[in-house]
Amino acid sequence: MLDFIYFWIQKGICAVQPKCWQREPVLGYNSVAMDIHLVPVLGDNYAYLVVHKATQKAFCVDPAEPEKVLDAAERLGVTLEMSLTTHKHWDHAGGNNKLAKLVPGIPIVGGEKEHVPACSKFVKDGEEFYFETIKIRTLLTPCHTSGHVLYYVTDPSCADPALFSGDTLFVAGCGRFFEGTGKDMYRALVQVCGSLPPNTRVFCGHEYTVKSLQFALSVEPNNAALKQKMTWAQQRRHENLPTVPSTIAEELSYNPFMRVTQPSVALATGVSQSDPVAVMTKLRQMKDVF
């Protein structure tokens, strides 16, 4: 863990928030049953506040700065009643102990294979549980960390599912393989995420989109979906607006880490298309030095 913190300090990600970073919650998705609000925290992280509209109760995801999440809940007039953690890293789980003090008795959910601070409910791969009418399914995706989980959220009244992907899947990118291999990330992105409904909205842990797209364009410079997404993302950031969420369908069209079976991606890595795990491994090596 100390090595991880040192790495991010060296990369400058622990720096003071840039002026362009939004401080107010942003409505990222709304439906008959639930709203999903983005709560910017730290330098470029997103926490999320998911509101069950019928009851005005809410749960949050990765509240690294719990005061900001609670302030958002207060301004929205909702009650925070549960917290989900995708993985153990401080910029996602570092607010758990404080949240437990600020909201005594709040259930804090985390994967059973992860050392999540203040966790009071450990969930297994594939386990399903409910928040009012909202169904939450845990998806284990070890690689970024050995016990990283995603939360797949559905409601009978919602047309589009939601995926809280932490640092496994970013818009046009993925997290570093700190505690896993290319084989692990291939399973996570291609077999797990890639099998979800195409209209699933992806709510990731960071605002990394423009940088991820820059790398993706170096891999597939002729990908029309990539070019269009870059133009859109640059305009969004120029206007100080988030680029989250995307959808699984979109990611399959431009995210190179979900496109490792495509000839164009394999060609860029110099690895045979017949070995997508090796393509994944090489692609991450290329991104690490990009």
Catalytic one of 35, 92, 155, 184: 92
Among this protein's residues, is 89 annotated catalytic? yes
Among this protein's residues, is 71 annotated catalytic? no
Which residues constitute the domain of residue 79?
14-288
CATH number at residue 224: 3.60.15.10
Residue 3 in any domain: the answer is no
pTM: 0.92
Catalytic one of 35, 144, 148, 184: 144
The length of the chain, given as a count of residues: 290
DSSP label at 241?
A: -
Among this protein's residues, is 125 annotated catalytic? no
- Count of structural domains within the chain: 1
| Nearest partner of 110 among 87, 129, 139, judged by Cα | 87
Catalytic one of 35, 155, 167, 184: 167
For Cα atoms 262, 189, 126, give the angle at the middle one, nearest 5 degrees. 145
Residue 5 in any domain: the answer is no
Residue 8 in any domain: the answer is no
Q: How far apart are CA 128 and CA 139, in angstroms?
A: 10
Q: What is the pLDDT of residue 22?
A: 52
Q: At which residue do the structure tokens 């009244």 appear?
A: 157
State how far Cα 181 lies from the chain centre.
Answer: 19
Positive or negative, the CA dihedral 6, 144, 85, 157 is positive
Q: What is the separation, in whole angstroms, between the first and last Cα of the chain? A: 24
Catalytic one of 44, 91, 155, 184: 91
Helix (H) or strand (E) holding 182: helix 182-186
The pair of structure tokens assigned to 119 is: 């966790």
- Give me the tens of pLDDT residue by residue for the chain, a chain 290 residues long: 333 332 333 333 333 333 334 557 899 998 889 999 999 999 899 999 999 999 999 999 999 999 999 999 999 999 999 999 999 999 999 999 999 999 999 999 999 999 999 999 999 999 999 999 999 999 999 999 999 999 999 998 888 999 999 999 999 999 999 999 999 999 999 999 999 999 999 999 999 999 999 999 999 999 999 999 999 999 999 999 999 999 999 999 999 999 999 999 999 999 999 999 999 999 999 999 99
SS3 66: helix
Helix (H) or strand (E) holding 109: strand 108-111
Residue 9 in any domain: the answer is no
Among this protein's residues, is 92 annotated catalytic? yes
| Nearest partner of 281 among 7, 265, 222, judged by Cα | 265
Among this protein's residues, is 238 annotated catalytic? no
Amino acid identity of residue 281, one-letter, is T
Residue 84 in any domain: the answer is yes
